[in-house]
Amino acid sequence: MGALALGVILGPASASAGALDLPFEQSKLSNGLTIIIHEDHLLPQVATNLIYRVGSKDEQAGRTGFAHLFEHLMFMGTRRAPTKAFDQWMESAGGSNNAWTSSDFTDYHEMGPSTLLPLFLWLEADRLETLGREIDQPKLDLQRDVVRNERRQTIENRPYGKVELRLPELGYPESHPYHHPVIGSHADLEAASVKDVRSFFEQHYVPANASLVIAGDVRAAEAKELVQRYFGFIPSPSAERASKPPTSLAPPRLDKVVRETIEDQVEMTKIIMAFHSPAHFEPGDAELDLLASILSSGKTSRLYKSLVYEKALAQSVEAAQESSVLSSLFNVEILLRPGVSPDVVEKLTDALLTDVITKPPTDEELARAKNQIAFDFVDRLQSVAARARLLNMYWAEKGDPGYVHKDLARYEQATAQSVLAQAQKTITLNSRVILRVVPAGGRAAPGKRGR
């Protein structure tokens, strides 16, 4: 537990987190797989994080939800590691794993005692090499059922869950890769075939489209050798089409206010406003994180103070820059207290939003927002798993695992004027989505309502 045990060095205490160092070694196999290694010897554990640069944005029409379904199929077994063996072997040795899919990426991660690194790598290499070829109908059917239950549990049977389905559809035109939600539709999930799975695998699951981070109690040279041993022989047949930067698309625009009201089994109305905003790491993206904090973080934030604290109209407020690779949405969500008119709250919210596009934030507000973000930069480095994910995100999005300095600098360099300028570009009251979720069939007693 030496002073630098976590390998993170902060500069002299100042208003910001100062210089932040997250050391790593980067290399590439001849098949194109990127390797990033971060040593940390505090505890005898290791985390791996493997990102494939494919997400729901890469799905074909009629096959929504496929990238995420595929993520589930990656656990369904191969000739070498038959169905259930992946988890069985991993947990028997004391390791754990999970995976997630977004519009842009699919991320597989493992965690356990450092002696498990060879097993983690062997299992990941095995499924990268063979899984697509060895998928069959029963495996597909089973995980399709699990995914449809995930949709029921996390969206359909959860208050306001349907927002996640409707917001992208309302905010992006049908031609845009972000138009459909990550989870996909029941109909498309039902339609997925084994042939679809194979062609998706061949196109996207190639070493050159992947980056592997190993973080923890390992020696970089030894870890590199292990990666070479287990992944080195895998060919990269589609090297020429993998790892291409995302096709540049014209930034999506709304030329009007797109309104929709949906019913849900809820007690209170929720208003969600969504504005098109710059992609992750594009100019203005950091300013919008700061603006979100100024609007809704803490009791003195603009929206909270007015709508929750002073006027007692809202139960909660939340503003967030939801950053993605191609384009982002800046969302403002307001949960209304029972019986409050959404029209009144929308009008008040518009007045508050008009303020932030008319005058720059105060120096105090900006400093407060920056200090909260500076803390978060340090706080999120606590575990080796979190650092592995961060290094891989910087690589996958910026081509530079060491981007943390430049990332922090974006916030340090933001000024009241730059926040104002970005707010003026993004907070366009005449072109946005306004989605309302209202209690189904008027008010009814909880626990015994029907539609």
Partner 1 sequence: MSEASRAVSAIVLAAAISAAACAGSAKTNLAVPATSAGSPPAPGAASAAADSLGPRPEPKPPVPFVPPAPQVLEGPAGSKVWLLERHGLPIVTIALVVPYGSAAEPMEKGGLAFATADMLDEGAGDRDALAFSQAVNDLGAKLASSADRDSSVVSLEVLVAKLDQALPLLADAVVRPRHENKDWTRVRTLWNNALKNRAHEPNDVARVVTSVVYYGPKHPYAHPPDGTLTSAKSVLLPDISKWHKAIWRPDAATFVVVGDVKPEGITASLKKAFAAWKVPASAAAPVVPPGPISNSGVRTYVVDRSDAPQVVLSFARSGPPASDPAFPRLGMLNVALGGSFTSRLNQNLREDHGWTYGVRSRFNAQRGAGMFVVRAAIRADAIAPALRETKKELEKMAAGGLAEGEIDKVRALLNGEALETYGALHGVAGSLASNAALGLPPDQDAKDLASQRSATPKDLSTLASAYLELSSATLILVGPKDAAIKALADNGLPKPELVDAEGRPVAR
Using CB under 8 A as the binding rule, the residues of this chain from 170 to 209 that contact partner 1 are 181-183
Q: Could you tell me the smallest distance in angstroms from the CB atom of residue 186 to partner 1?
A: 10
CA 225 to chain centre: 31
Q: Which two tokens stand for residue 324?
A: 């993605």
Closest listed residue to residue 286, CA positions, set 399, 383, 198, 374:
374
378 binds partner 1, rule: CB under 8 A? yes
Considering only 72, 180, 276, 389, the residue that binds partner 1 (CB under 8 A) is: 72
One-character DSSP codes across 150-173: HHIIIIITSTTTTHHHHHHHHHS-
88 binds partner 1, rule: CB under 8 A? yes
Nearer to partner 1, 80 or 398 (CB): 80
Nearer to partner 1, 155 or 348 (CB): 155
Distance CA 167, CA 182 (A): 12
Rg value, the chain, Cα: 23
Nearer to partner 1, 6 or 357 (CB): 6
137 binds partner 1, rule: CB under 8 A? no
39 binds partner 1, rule: CB under 8 A? no
- The residues in 90-119 that bind partner 1, with binding defined as CB under 8 A, are 91-104, 111-116, 118-119
Nearer to partner 1, 382 or 424 (CB): 382
Q: Contact at 8 Å (CB) between 310 and 317?
A: no
Considering only 233, 355, 358, 406, the residue that binds partner 1 (CB under 8 A) is: 233
Interface with partner 1: number of residues (CB under 8 A): 120
Distance CA 398, CA 385 (A): 20
Stretch that binds partner 1, among 203-211, 244-252, 266-274, 343-351 (CB under 8 A): 266-274
At 297, the amino acid letter reads: S
Nearer to partner 1, 92 or 431 (CB): 92
Nearer to partner 1, 341 or 424 (CB): 341
Stretch that binds partner 1, among 25-33, 206-214, 225-233, 402-410 (CB under 8 A): 225-233
- The residues in 282-301 that bind partner 1, with binding defined as CB under 8 A, are 297-300
Considering only 158, 241, 347, 405, the residue that binds partner 1 (CB under 8 A) is: 158
Q: Contact at 8 Å (CB) between 392 and 51?
A: yes
Stretch that binds partner 1, among 24-32, 74-82, 241-249, 410-418 (CB under 8 A): 74-82
One-character DSSP codes across 309-364: IIS--EEEEEEEEE--SS-EEEEEEEEEPTT--HHHHHHHHHHHHHHHHHSPPPHH
Q: Which two tokens stand for residue 17?
A: 């987190």
442 binds partner 1, rule: CB under 8 A? no
Distance CA 288, CA 293 (A): 9
Considering only 19, 146, 187, 257, the residue that binds partner 1 (CB under 8 A) is: 146
Considering only 45, 64, 209, 211, the residue that binds partner 1 (CB under 8 A) is: 45
- The residues in 298-357 that bind partner 1, with binding defined as CB under 8 A, are 298-300, 305, 308-309, 312, 315, 322-324, 337-338
Nearer to partner 1, 136 or 350 (CB): 136
At 255, the amino acid letter reads: D
Q: Provide the 10 A C-beta neighbour count for residue 330.
A: 27
Q: Could you tell me the smallest distance in angstroms from the CB atom of residue 297 to partner 1?
A: 7
Q: Contact at 8 Å (CB) between 34 and 393?
A: no
Residues 6+ apart with CB under 8 A from 41: 5, 217
Q: Could you tell me the smallest distance in angstroms from the CB atom of residue 450 to partner 1?
A: 4
Q: How far is CA 423 from CA 321, 330, 359, 447, in A?
A: 11, 10, 10, 42
Distance CA 289, CA 195 (A): 42
Nearer to partner 1, 75 or 394 (CB): 75
Q: Which two tokens stand for residue 435?
A: 């989605």
390 binds partner 1, rule: CB under 8 A? no
Residues 6+ apart with CB under 8 A from 328: 276, 277, 278, 279, 280, 285, 288, 321, 322
